Structure 1
């Protein structure tokens, strides 16, 4: 009997580059499949899950193939692709699972997320308990889909009319105008990894937990033994970090850095020495004054400026 795990499929698209799946399925070895749900205009953010439908059995085999055809609205184009998935890698992750921070109990990965971006970029991730791992990056080809098939309830609408975002998502058009065009290649730039880790430098405080979300859609949550080791690791550049620190009285504080400025953080990583490890250090006095977030490589330290160091609160477990 083929091993089965409890998971659901979902879709993802960059916030300002919406898409809509026409036909998307994850296929199993026995020929059966589960469809990938999709809202009419998907733009949840790269790596963020979108629609969730309870599709198929609760426990499903590990998929071996992804087939998907979708509309890329900002390009007024359709893309299609069919690719083998790394079944062994996915099975290993399902079996290893992840530990939940609150309960300290082991759980499995419970989502397979299919991300679709301009230029025919397709990325698949597995998500579970604050951890998300890239499974593969694939390249689709342009295709044609008849509008009477794509929008059967409005068969006379033209493709250009249907994909016009001026009413539904005008900020997407504005973004492209400001950037001077669609940022083709951006999602591959996001996939570049660097040898780095986080740390704290706060007298008499211990490091309780770190949650990191990266531009490439991957996520990582470290606590207990993994955080005690706190190893340098190849990671993509972070766009979100949440530190939990604890003082000698057992009081926990959260420092959260959301929407880290893309230009500033990329410049720091790209200008660093690729042969040396990097630390991002949360530093302050014991009374939590003089707060800084430092980009550190060897003796070189650069404060990260475009962040909100006041976004903190006491955390009660």
Structure 2
């Protein structure tokens, strides 16, 4: 079975300072989320709240609040925007679990396991509608453009991932294109709202977007490494789920590319033909360690994390800037 990533020590990193700095705004966001999941159709709040209340860190809405604070925004539009971002994220999770036939999400049975695929998809659609409704209420065409573009790009990423599934010839560039769309795009959008709301220069919008994009890439790279080197309790899903589903992630790309002909035959058999039982997973992890695929995936994450941190250099020193840098360190430290 999978083993814990073999690093010597864990760097101290936390998002506690970020949580503390945005707490008053986050309380309003949470109240908005609860009120907007309400519906006369009783199953909708039941299904939506199953995932919304399941303990996610809500990092994306916190990025909206933190960048707005860093850029000196004084209004209250960030509350609805942050809630809209969380609704879009939750909708994509509900849809993803159906596509991936996932059984666990954040350590709990997925909505599809409790209520079925149809209900999960439809409640996801409801949350998407509520997300767009809140953006209309904000009244900013630019903000609407950012979130609606993100929704389309995320869907493109999901389709790209589906097309690449079980294809062991997938390149690192193709993999990165998937996660830029599927994961990093919403991080980028969330971080970009702050300077847009504050009317800051385009350079600051671009810097925040770069921060979000590269944080999102680093975050996903660590997730992909943890699928082979983490614990189920940490992942909130079964270790090896990506492997069993035939997903081509960076650890697979690296191990396949660096392997022998016999090893590549193993990957084809396991991923393309679906022969991915527990014994095959153990072999896969062994090959990844042999070729440093997990470790190098984490090194890639550090690279993108450094780009994210550097993007903050445009802004003056402040507690919230430091907290955003700490969020990068936290995202990467999950692998240690």
Q: Taking structure 2 as the reference length, what is the TM-score of the superposition?
A: 0.26
Q: Which has the higher strand share?
A: 1
Q: Taking structure 1 as the reference length, what is the TM-score of the superposition?
A: 0.27
Q: Which has the higher helix share?
A: 2
Kindly name which structure, 1 or 2, has the bigger radius of gyration based on alpha carbons. Answer: 1
Higher relative contact order (CA 8 A, sep 6+): 2
